[in-house]
Each structure stands twice: as structure tokens, then as C-alpha cells.
Amino acid sequence: MIRDGDVTVNGRVIRELGTRADPVRDHVKVRGKLIQRPRRIEHWVFNKPVGMVTTMSDPERRPCVGDALGESHAFLFPVGRLDFHSSGLLVLTSDGELCDRLTHPRYHIQKTYRIKVSRAPGEEGLRRLREGVRLSDGMTGPARVRLERQAGGKAWLDITISEGRNRQVRRMLDAVGLRVEKLRRTAIGPLKLGRLSTGEARRMTASELASLRQSVGL
């Protein structure tokens, strides 16, 4: 039970019901204990390098996203995953609702990848990718696939999918006989990686956030 004098705001004893306080700016104490102030909702874009796990901490002490961003960003959480050997666009946010919608299958958020493969795919392989590939966990949905270029026996593909299965793009390419040598995510819905350097992070712009929220019905 809260008694008269138990609550203070910025050192001032509160005795009137309905007294207002800003939970971000003001120091509110109950019986001398500071109430933890909530973080502001923030949204960041990060270009994850290869050789980093998509977590804010790692018990195995592998390099992780949290190491790159530092303790001041510990309240953020990554939206979805990029595997250890993949790089590219990662969204970090403290907005749980946005995170849930971006990762929920019902919203069919498209993700685009630029991939270097061991050889140029044939027409049959491209057709299978575009129509759907049978994996151990069932058929995939159709993918948008563009052969960007070929050089020295290698090929670069742009692939867009709207599912989020574990290591899905790598498994799809393996199913049609293509070995992935490099994989970089370049877009999530309307959000683009752009020229953000590997290992760098920046705040999402207001227009980017508005477009991303609109894409999931927020």
C-alpha cells in the first residue's frame, strides 16, 4: 500500500492524487527506490558483417551485433536473423509491435539478397527458383530471381522472397545445385541497405520508418 510521502518526483514529495510526471525526463521514486525509466522507441539500420551472430550478446563470446553497437544500444533487439556467414541489412528496434509484424508470416514482407554463386544457373534452375523449390520443410513460395552478371565462371543473382525460414535462400540454391559463396541482404520491404558501410549503424529516417510501418499495416 502506498502511503502519503512514499512517492517523490525529482525529490519533491507527492501528496496529491493525479499528479503528473514525465516518465522519461523525471526521476520518480517509490519508498526511495528509483523507478526504471523506459527507453524511447528507436529504430536503427545496421550493415552486419560476415562472422557475426545476430544477437545483442553471445554466451560463446562470438562477435555479435551488441558488440558493434555498444552498451548504449542494449535495449534494441534485432528483427529476424542473418546467419553467421551472411552480411547485409539488419533492422534493430525497441518497438515490439513493429518487430512482430515484420517477422510474422501473414505480412509477407519481402527480403532481397545479392548472392554470388559458384557457377551460372541454367534456365531450369532459374525456373524452379521462380516457381518454388521443395525443401525438407515443404515447398517454398515463388521467388523473384534476376541473373545480374557472370564473370570468371561465377554468377551474381538478386533474389527476393517473402518467407522467413531458417537459411532459406541458401537451401533453395543448394536444392538447384548452386553453392553460395557470398550472401548479402540488400532490402527488407521498402527499406534499402544503400551505401551504409559494413559494420556501421545509423538511425532510420522518418520517411523510412513511415514506409516500413505502412508495409505492415501500422
Q: Band of the pLDDT at 39, cuts 50, 70, 90?
A: low
Q: Is the pLDDT of residue 96 over 60?
A: yes
Angle 168-175/123-131 helices, nearest 10 degrees? Answer: 140
CA-to-CA distance for 91 and 52, rounded, in angstroms? 15
Q: Looking at residues 8-34, what average pLDDT do you find?
A: 62
What is the model's pLDDT at position 182? 97
Could you tell me which residue, 3 or 66, shows the higher pLDDT? 66
Confidence (pTM): 0.80
What is the model's pLDDT at position 29? 66
161-171 core/surface letters (b: 16 or more CB in 10 A; e: else): bbeeeeebbbb
Does the active-site annotation cover 67? no
Q: Which of 83, 100, 137, 174 is catalytic?
A: 83
What are 103-119's pLDDT values in tens digits?
A: 888 898 999 999 999 99
The helix or strand, by DSSP H or E, that contains position 214, with its residue range, turns out to be helix 206-215
What are 146-169's pLDDT values in tens digits?
A: 999 999 889 999 999 999 888 999
Could you tell me which residue, 27 or 210, shows the higher pLDDT? 210
What is the model's pLDDT at position 112? 97
CB atoms near residue 84 (< 10 Å): 13
What is the model's pLDDT at position 81? 87
End-to-end CA gap in the chain = 39
